[in-house]
Amino acid sequence: MTQPVRSRLVFPPQQSVTNAVLSPQEVEVRLGNTSIKGMGYHQGLLGPTLIANAGEQAQIKVQNQLKEPTNVHWHGLVVPADQDGHPEQLIAPSASQTYLFQIKQAGGLYWYHPHPHNLTAKQAYLGLAGLFVVRDPLEAKLNLPVDSQEAFLVLQDKRLENNALDYKPNQQDIMSGYLGQDILVNGQKNTQMQVFQGIYRLRILNGSNARVYNIAFDKETPFWIIGGDGGLTETPYPSKAVLLGPGERLDLLADFSSHEAGSSLKLISQPFKGVKTQGQQAFSLLDIQIEKGPIKPYLIPNQLATLEKIQTPQGTKTRSFELQGMKMSGVDAMPEMGHGSMMMPTGGNTIMRGMHTINGKTFDMKRIDETVPAGASEIWVFDNSKGDEIHPMHLHGAQFQIIQREGGRNSVFSHEKTRKDTVLLMPGEKVSIAVKFPDYKGKYVIHCHNLEHEDDGMMLNFELI
Ligand code: C2O
Ligand code: CU
Ligand code: CU
């Protein structure tokens, strides 16, 4: 009945955020048939899923057992600047830091990962990442699927051709991002998720360095988008496919009740247009095996959340961020995954750095690029209209609302109709967002969440004063 080569998908252990411990360390894990060296926040790739209730005080001790500095950024969480994992705030090897902050935001799926400049991409790629779930009472009232009917999925692409998880980007990798042809779900390869014939809540993180997924099912399966990065949408939106960039999250309800017990389907990435370097063919993300078993009946609610609109009256301060990547001949020839062609020869290439800029600048740890009054509401515009690369732009320190997307796909998509912290810009697109900054003061960053671009310097500081 089941495909013997696949093992059962395992979900990371859950840990309360009120007294959590993370231990960044080198790990050795079994992936498929081989043993692979990577990094984790516990003895395995990735880390525990941290669980918080809105209002709670988080206390998370991070003990660095690596041979290099690291730190932790709580992606999507609005925390004081000195707890945010700014690239300047490092934890030395053998040192520890206890992060303290209060959860002051809506229920949602957030995540955590390292943020030391020039090491973020490598450490995240090698396995340092984990989920951070915030629960709140309004969400609890909706009676959404829980326990075994709520599945957390971290999607990542890796290169495992040499039975290793090496991180050695060449020039083309820095341009397109470090793409791999092996898909890991929750840090595991060739797995299968068992479901019964009913409604499941799938909470998905694109935890890849650079890959965009066009998430869909390969067999007719009704599903509804119920949320994105920073919480629920106002209503469920029936959907067929969702384009999800690195760093973005997706909350959906999928109804498997029309599938027969014993059958299987796949969560896949569908081909998409707009860029030549990826998504040119469908590929499988996760096998889903339908089985007979006890299922709790759930309904698709009509109404989910009420989103307070961030007001941006006439005269609201607007800041523009022009995104740029240097055009490099040969990038267009970057092959798609699937034929072992992802491994580009590195032979003797010298690496040119600093090709990805925001407003013509690359990251300078000490330079303050924007000064913003704490508590202010502003309009920020990310402009990729002249760019020819994909840039998932991410803001620390706040959740924002998307006002509009001009050019390219020219619309705001269902999973974007909520609070966001990361927004995908395809080439030719310009996105305006409304942001209400917190009352915290201090230094935060904005950057491209293509982690190769970020480490290449596609990041700026802003200071709340
Ligand atoms: Cu998920 Cu500044 O990053
Ligand atoms: Cu972040
Ligand atoms: Cu980018």
- Do 350 and 381 belong together in one domain? yes
Whole-number pLDDT of residue 3? 43
Q: Do 117 and 226 fall into the same domain?
A: no
356 shares a domain with 287: no
Banded pLDDT at 163 (limits 50, 70, 90): confident
Residues 41 and 101 placed together within one structural domain of the fold: yes
CA distance 241 to 229: 17
Residues 17 and 91 in one domain: yes
Residue with the bigger pLDDT between 397 and 333: it is 397
Position 109 in a domain? yes
List the residue whose alpha carbon is closest to atom 3 of ligand 1.
Answer: 75
- Looking at residue 335, its pLDDT comes to 37
**Atom of ligand 1 at shortest range from CA of 75:** 1
| CB contact burial 55-75 (16+ within 10 A = b; e otherwise) | ebebebebebebeebbbbbbb
How far, in Å, from the CA of 73 to the mean position of ligand 2?
6
Q: Which atom of ligand 1 is nearest to the CA of 247?
A: 1
Among 276, 291, 306, identify where a domain stops.
291
The reply to whether 26 and 50 lie within a common domain is: yes
Using DSSP's 3-state secondary structure scheme, residue 17 falls into helix
Q: How far is the CA of 389 from the centre of ligand 3 (A)?
A: 7
Report pLDDT for 43: 94
Q: Which of these, 173, 244, 235, 161, lies nearest to 422 by C-alpha position?
A: 244
- Both 159 and 227 in a single domain? yes
Cα 276 to averaged position of ligand 1 atoms, centre (Å):
25
> Would residue 450 count as lying in a domain?
yes
Same domain, 125 and 210: no
Convert the pLDDT of each residue in 210-240 to its tens digit: 999 999 999 999 999 999 999 999 999 999 9
Provide the whole-model pTM.
0.94
Q: What is the pLDDT of residue 5?
A: 67
Alpha carbon of 307 to ligand 1 centroid (Å): 24
- Cβ contact 109:251 at 8 Å: yes
Q: Evaluate whether residue 308 is within a structural domain.
A: no
Domain-embedded: residue 268: yes
**Placement of tokens 């790629």 in the chain:** 125
Number of domains in the chain: 3
- Return the CATH number at 174: 2.60.40.420
410's CB contacts (< 8 A; 6+ apart) are none
In ligand 1, the atom with minimum distance to the C-alpha of 459 is 2
Position 141 scores a pLDDT of 96
pLDDT of residue 238: 98
312 domain-assigned:
no
Domain end position, chosen among 291, 310, 338: 291
What mean pLDDT, rounded, does the chain reach? Answer: 92
Task: Tell me the pLDDT tens digit for each residue of 274-315.
Answer: 776 666 788 999 999 999 999 999 999 999 999 999 999 999
In this structure, are 285 and 325 located in the same domain? no
Domain stops at, among 135, 169, 184 = 135
Q: Which residues of 156-185 are buried (b: 16+ CB within 10 A; e: fewer)?
A: bbbbbeeeebebebbbbbbbbbbbbbbbbb
Check residue 155 and give its pLDDT: 98
Residues 47 and 74 in one domain: yes
- Residue 110 falls inside a structural domain: yes
Query: Per residue in 332-369, pLDDT tens?
Result: 333 344 333 333 444 445 778 888 999 999 999 999 99
In this structure, are 159 and 204 located in the same domain? Answer: yes
Residue nearest to atom 1 of ligand 1 (CA): 75
Spell out which residues line ligand 1, taking CB within 6 angstroms. Answer: 73, 75, 113, 115, 247, 394, 396, 445, 447, 449
* Highest mean pLDDT, choosing among 146-155, 165-174, 319-328: 146-155
Same domain membership, residue 250 and residue 179: yes
The answer to whether position 297 is within a domain reads no
Domain containing residue 327: 318-464
Residues that place a CB less than 5 A from ion ligand 2: 75, 396
